[in-house]
Amino acid sequence: MSEVSDSGVAWTIVGQGLAGSCLAWELWRRGVNFCIVDREGGIAASRVAAGLVNPVTGKNFEPSPMIGEFLPEALEFYRRIEENLGVVLWHPLPIMRLAGNDDEWAKMQAKAARADVKVWVGRELAKQEIDGWAGGFEISGGGRFDVKMFVDRTREFFQAQGIYRKDEIAFDRDVKVRVWCDGAAGLVLGRHAEARCAKGEILTVRATGWDEARIRVGAGGWLVPLGEGCYKLGSTYEWERLDMEPSEAGLERLRRIAMKLGGADFEIIAHEAGVRPILRRSEPLIGPMSEGGWMFNGLGSKGSLYAPGMARRLALWILNGQEPEGHFDIRAFRKRL
Ligand SMILES: Cc1cc2nc3c(=O)[nH]c(=O)nc-3n(C[C@H](O)[C@H](O)[C@H](O)COP(=O)(O)OP(=O)(O)OC[C@H]3O[C@@H](n4cnc5c(N)ncnc54)[C@H](O)[C@@H]3O)c2cc1C
């Protein structure tokens, strides 16, 4: 199944965000001949992501699909890469999931009784912990994956081996050994299927006296401790203007989330924006493209959770012809549209 190009390089991974980086490690550990290329500019997501992994998410307080398979796989992947790179990338932390009103709290309590939700839900938060909130649960199994350190160190690692280069690759249907991991930049070209990418803005803040031991999720946002009094705070969703420019409106929204989850007193260290690649909510898709080459995209808001498991599935498919669950196959997804 493996094809080799004229240059002798078997595979070219186009894009070195979370998707391309995870795939690169999967090919590397199998001894495959490949190179990885990134243009280091334009719209992207991994450079700004907070790396939050939250097993039970959203307004509906639902477990992420197939989390029972993807979370252990992601943790095993993080551990392996930590060993290879000699850095700490995964920071497990309990999550405080807070309900803004009685309806939300009633829904969360009902869901918490369901077997697939119960496994992640810990104690109900005490009155003094939820001042100003209708209720809350502690959630286990989550934490923060240091996405920026992961992609930066991965680039350095492969650069040192001469298999990473900065370049912009134009699409060519005749080159079948390219794997497109080009995130929202690729999706907005409409190549795979109709996409619904979302710009997100995020703050890095410094504050004293805020809870550093737990991630807080509520009020449509999250507050993720980084250590030494710093936090990532996010995030906004904007569907029309897909650019990398932080905006005044975004800042206003983030300030409101900060007030609810942390407090009024904080210093802004950075205000950044990125574009999430979305094809089907946050459920990724992989597979051969009818136009030539392969694709790995659509990680949405959950790249940290899904990228490792999807990269392994794609590596097995490309190298051994082992197809993944049909649910992840871009060809099946396109047929249903
Ligand atoms: C504000 C914000 C906060 C987020 N927070 C979280 C979070 O807490 N937890 C979580 O799990 N996820 C989070 N996400 C989502 C996460 O960032 C994405 O799911 C993930 O980063 C997508 O990775 P990717 O590799 O598919 O895309 P990208 O990171 O966009 O990478 C694609 C790469 O391809 C390159 N590229 C594109 N076209 C070309 C070309 N033609 N030639 C060469 N290179 C090319 C780009 O330069 C880019 O580096 C967040 C996203 C945003 C925007």
pLDDT band at 254 (very low <50, low <70, confident <90, very high): very high
Q: What are 1-44's pLDDT values in tens digits?
A: 444 444 455 899 999 999 999 999 999 999 999 999 999 999 99
Topology (CATH level 3) of domain 96-141+196-276: D-Amino Acid Oxidase; Chain A, domain 2 (3.30.9)
Burial code of 257-289, b = ≥16 C-beta within 10 A, e = fewer?
A: bbebbbeeebeeeebbbbbbbbbbebbbbbbbb
Q: Comparing C-alpha atoms, which of 275, 264, 329 is closest to residue 303?
A: 275
Q: Is 118 helix (H, G, I), strand (E, B) or coil?
A: helix
Residue 221 has pLDDT above 90, yes or no: yes
Looking at the domain that runs over 1-94+142-194+280-337, which CATH code has it been given?
3.50.50.60
Tell me, rounded to whole angstroms, the distance of Cα 194 from its chain centroid: 20
The CB of 36 under 6 Å from ligand 1? The reply is no
The whole-angstrom separation of Cα 334 and Cα 66 is 21
Where exactly are the structural domains of the chain?
1-94+142-194+280-337, 96-141+196-276
Query: Which phi and psi (to 5°) does residue 238 adopt?
Result: -135, 125
Ligand 1 mean position, distance from CA 98 (Å): 28
Residue 313 has pLDDT above 90, yes or no: yes
Q: What are 291-305's pLDDT values in tens digits?
A: 889 999 999 999 999
The CB of 253 under 6 Å from ligand 1? The reply is no
Residue 234 has pLDDT above 50, yes or no: yes
Percent of the chain with pLDDT over 70: 97
Nearest Cα residue to atom 35 of ligand 1: 15
Residue 290 has pLDDT above 60, yes or no: yes
Which of the residue ranges 13-22, 57-66, 71-80 would you say has the lowest mean pLDDT? 57-66
pLDDT of residue 9: 53
Pocket test for ligand 1, best of 26, 95, 145, 147 (most atoms within 8 A of CB): 147
The CB of 277 under 6 Å from ligand 1? The reply is yes
Looking at residue 175, its amino acid is V
pLDDT of residue 230: 98
Q: Where are the beta strands (DSSP E) in the chain?
A: 11-14, 34-38, 52-53, 56-57, 62-63, 90-92, 95-99, 121-124, 135-139, 143-145, 164-166, 178-180, 198-206, 215-218, 221-227, 230-234, 267-276, 285-288, 294-297
The CB of 16 under 6 Å from ligand 1? The reply is yes
Enter the DSSP assignment of 173: T
Residue 69 has pLDDT above 60, yes or no: yes
Q: What are 137-174's pLDDT values in tens digits?
A: 999 999 999 999 999 999 999 999 999 999 999 988 88
Enter the DSSP assignment of 114: S
What pTM value is reported for the model? 0.96
Ligand 1 atom, smallest distance to 44 CA? 30
CA dist 119 to 189, 213, 307, Å? 40, 21, 23
Query: Which phi and psi (to 5°) does residue 309 adopt?
Result: -65, -40
Residue 73: in which H helix or E strand, if any?
A: helix 67-85
pLDDT of residue 192: 75
Ligand 1 mean position, distance from CA 44 (Å): 5
The whole-angstrom separation of Cα 337 and Cα 334 is 5
225-254 average pLDDT score: 97
The whole-angstrom separation of Cα 301 and Cα 153 is 22
Percent of the chain with pLDDT over 90: 88
User: What is the residue whose two structure tokens read 């001894």?
Assistant: 31
The CB of 310 under 6 Å from ligand 1? The reply is no
Other Cβ atoms within 10 Å of 297 Cβ, number: 28
Ligand 1 mean position, distance from CA 16 (Å): 9
pLDDT of residue 184: 97
Residue 112 has pLDDT above 70, yes or no: yes
Cis check for the bond before 304: say yes or no (omega within 30 of 0).
Answer: no
Q: Comparing C-alpha atoms, which of 203, 265, 207 is closest to residue 235?
A: 203
The whole-angstrom separation of Cα 69 and Cα 155 is 27
The CB of 15 under 6 Å from ligand 1? The reply is yes
337 or 176: which leads in pLDDT:
176
Q: Is 199 helix (H, G, I), strand (E, B) or coil?
A: strand
269-291 average pLDDT score: 94
Ligand 1 mean position, distance from CA 182 (Å): 8
pLDDT of residue 7: 47
Pocket test for ligand 1, best of 46, 90, 165 (most atoms within 8 A of CB): 46
Q: What are 187-204's pLDDT values in tens digits?
A: 999 877 789 999 999 999
Burial of 316 (0-12, 13-18, 19+ CB in 10 A): middle
Residues 139, 55: contact at Cβ < 8 Å? yes
